[in-house]
Structures are given as structure tokens and as C-alpha cells.
Amino acid sequence: MTTEPIICRPTRDTFVRFGIVLLAFFGFGLYFFYDGAVGYRKANEVYFSYQAFARLGNMASNTGTWDSTQASHPLIPAKQVDGEWMIDGKYPLPANCAAVLSTPPEAADYAAMRRSWADCWTAYTARMHFPVKPAEHAYDTAAIREQWLAGAICMLISGIIIFLALRTRSRIMALEGELVTAAGQQFHTSDISRLDLRQWGKGYKGVAYATVNGRRIRMDGMTYGGFDPDANQPAEQFMQALLARYKGEILEYEQKDNQKN
């Protein structure tokens, strides 16, 4: 029986997994915040501009309905609500939305709009760097609030991931004589009343549970050291040394297979 301390530190793969999940949630959070602050308002501008082009195109095709002073009218009828341009009081637009001040020349050209308002729309979108195809619907203030809420939730989860990564970095899983360190707690092998190894072996999760004074304490070989017996990784050395010292009740991996039958 070895008496040398066995210390299992967090593996590099553990922090790679933390990093991937963190980047995903942080990225989604930024994406939601962008839509809440900018994206949905721009989408509304494109959507209502397209509707206006279609309406003016129909007017140009029907003799007598075109207003020759159209260029002096706004393309999008909007009003300011609490300092923000809105349509019907619930569809926000960008603060620099020029279409609420006047009709762009592409839509004010009667002859061109009469020939093909779709071509005029294409020319307008090219100049404004808008997508030719608008969104299927406009986004109201409730939808924008949802984006801010979703972004906040993603950032909260990102903060939790950072906390867990820092906590993991500060912890070890170790066996020093009869003293066991796991899950931020220390206890002696004599304090263990049961070892649950049903998720430990190769092909499993590398997780074992020690029952100590009625509490289950997690021993995570995947996170700390690695548990591959073929590579003689630290967590597997830890477990073999622990089993050499412990003589109490053990739930083996084979029992898990038997329970399935």
C-alpha cells in the first residue's frame, strides 16, 4: 500500500469545457443585448419601409392617387414616445431613422415607382445596406424586453460558470494517508460508511460518492486528475489507494449492470 500523497488537480480538459460553455452563453448574451438595443429596431425600420414602398407602389400604379408632394412626407409615420421614435406607440425605430423625416428619393420618384416599386426598393436597400427581404413581422416593445431579459439570463449563467471555474481551480482531490480531500471537504477513510462506484469505471462518468456521516460527497475523477486506468491517471491512482484503505460497503459498477437486467 502506497503511503505517498496522491493529489489530483483539475485537468486542462475541464477548463476547456468551462471555456466552451462560457463562450456560448456569453456570446448569446451579447447577441440578445444587440437585438434588444439595435437589431430589432433596425428590423422594424426595414419592415415598415418595405410596407411603405409597397403602398406607394400601389398608389403610383393607380392614376389619381399619387401625391406629388410625397417627397416632403415621412416614409414611415412615427411619433416620439419618451424621446424614442415609435409606430403605434409600441414598435420602436432607430434613433437615426431618416425615413420618419422624409421619403427617400427612390420612393418619391413617381415614374420609377410606377414602372417597378420592387426595383426602387432594391435600389434603396443597396444604398442603405438593408436586407432586401424584410422580417416576417415587426417587433414590439415586449419582444425587445424579452431580448434584454434573455441577455441578462445568459450573462448571469456566464457569471455562474466563471464562479464554478474559479472554485474548481482552487480545489483538489487528494488522499494523504487516511485523510481524504474531495468536493472542498476533508474526512478520514474511517468516516466513510459506503462507497458508490457505479459511475466510476471506464466508460462511465468517473464519479464516485462517499457517504460520510449521512452525507454524500462527490469524488469527480473526470474533473480532477483523470480516471482512465489504462493511462494510470491520478484519479484512478487515488481510487485504488482509497479502496486499499477502505473495508466498508461498496457499490461496484457491476451492480449497475445487474440492475438493468
pLDDT of residue 253: 57
Last residue of a domain, one of 122, 153, 184: 153
pTM: 0.82
Q: Residue 164 falls within a domain, yes or no?
A: no
Q: Specify whether the backbone of 214 is left (phi greater than 0), alpha (psi in -120 to 50) or beta.
A: left
Position with higher pLDDT, 191 vs 4? 191
Q: What is the residue type of 58? A: N
In a domain, 9, yes or no: no
Span 171-185, pLDDT tens digits: 999 999 999 999 999
User: Which domain covers residue 113, as residue numbers?
Assistant: 15-153
Look at residue 134 and tell me if it is in a domain.
yes
Digit-coded pLDDT (tens) for 173-220: 999 999 999 999 999 999 999 999 999 877 788 999 999 999 999 999
Q: For the segment 76-132, what is each residue's pLDDT rounded down to a tens digit?
A: 999 999 889 999 999 999 999 989 999 999 999 999 999 999 999 999 999 999 999
* Residues 129 and 27 both lie in one domain: yes
Q: Are both 191 and 83 inside the same structural domain?
A: no
Does residue 183 sit in the same domain as residue 220? yes
Same domain as 142, residue 78? yes
Residues of the chain with pLDDT > 70, as a percent, come to: 94
In a domain, 7, yes or no: no
* Domains contained in the chain, number: 2
Give pLDDT tens digits for 159-168: 999 999 999 9
The tens digit of pLDDT for each residue in 51-85 reads 999 999 999 988 677 888 888 889 999 999 988 99
CA distances from 261 to 196, 199, 205, 253, 255 (A): 19, 17, 20, 14, 10
**Residue in the structure block whose three cell numbers are 469505471:** 201
Residue 208 forms part of a structural domain: yes
Question: 124 and 198: one domain?
Answer: no
Residue 223 CA to residue 211 CA, distance in Å, equals 20
